């Protein structure tokens, strides 16, 4: 897979009473990066945003509600964007960080 391609997958695990864990592939999505110059950190941030959108779609379509949702990223830049509360970003970055930050919607 080249740096211009992204692959997103979602898996669902269900822990049974006998401490067995059932893991199922639920959804996959591939996305091709735009042809114009885009930085790797922006592509990684886009991947994190797609991960949120996939999760929302799965939760909306399934009849069960998850107890917990976990995301994994090895991108220190994306993790820095998400945890930063002091610096202002360009519109592209700021819109995606805001999109990530408002998930999951607070109930009640």
Confidence check: pLDDT of 78 > 70: yes
Q: Coil, helix or strand for 81?
A: helix
| Average model confidence (pLDDT) across the chain | 77
Confidence check: pLDDT of 68 > 50: yes
Q: What per-residue confidence (pLDDT) applies to 54?
A: 87
My answer on whether omega of the bond before 15 falls inside 30° of 0, hence cis, is no
Per-residue pLDDT tens for 6-22? 555 566 665 555 667 66
Residue in the structure block whose two tokens are 């979602």? 10
Kindly report the backbone phi and psi dihedral angles of residue 72, in degrees, each rounded to the nearest multiple of 5, phi listed first: -130, 135
Beta strands in 1-108 (DSSP E): 5-15, 21-32
79: its two tokens: 């993790």
Q: What per-residue confidence (pLDDT) applies to 105?
A: 58
Indicate yes or no: pTM above 0.95.
Answer: no
89: its two tokens: 């970003």
Between 83 and 34, the more confident residue is 83
């Amino acid at each position: 897979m080249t740096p211009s391609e992204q692959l997103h997958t979602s898996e669902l695990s269900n822990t049974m009473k006998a401490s067995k864990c059932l893991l199922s592939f639920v959804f996959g999505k591939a996305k091709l990066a735009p042809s114009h110059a885009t930085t790797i950190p922006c592509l990684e941030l886009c991947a994190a945003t797609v991960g949120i959108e996939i999760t929302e779609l799965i939760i909306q379509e399934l009849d069960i509600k998850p107890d917990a949702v976990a995301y994994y990223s090895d991108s220190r830049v994306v993790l820095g964007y998400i945890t930063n509360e002091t610096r202002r970003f360009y519109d592209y970055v700021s819109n995606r960080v805001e999109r990530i930050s408002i998930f999951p919607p607070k109930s009640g």
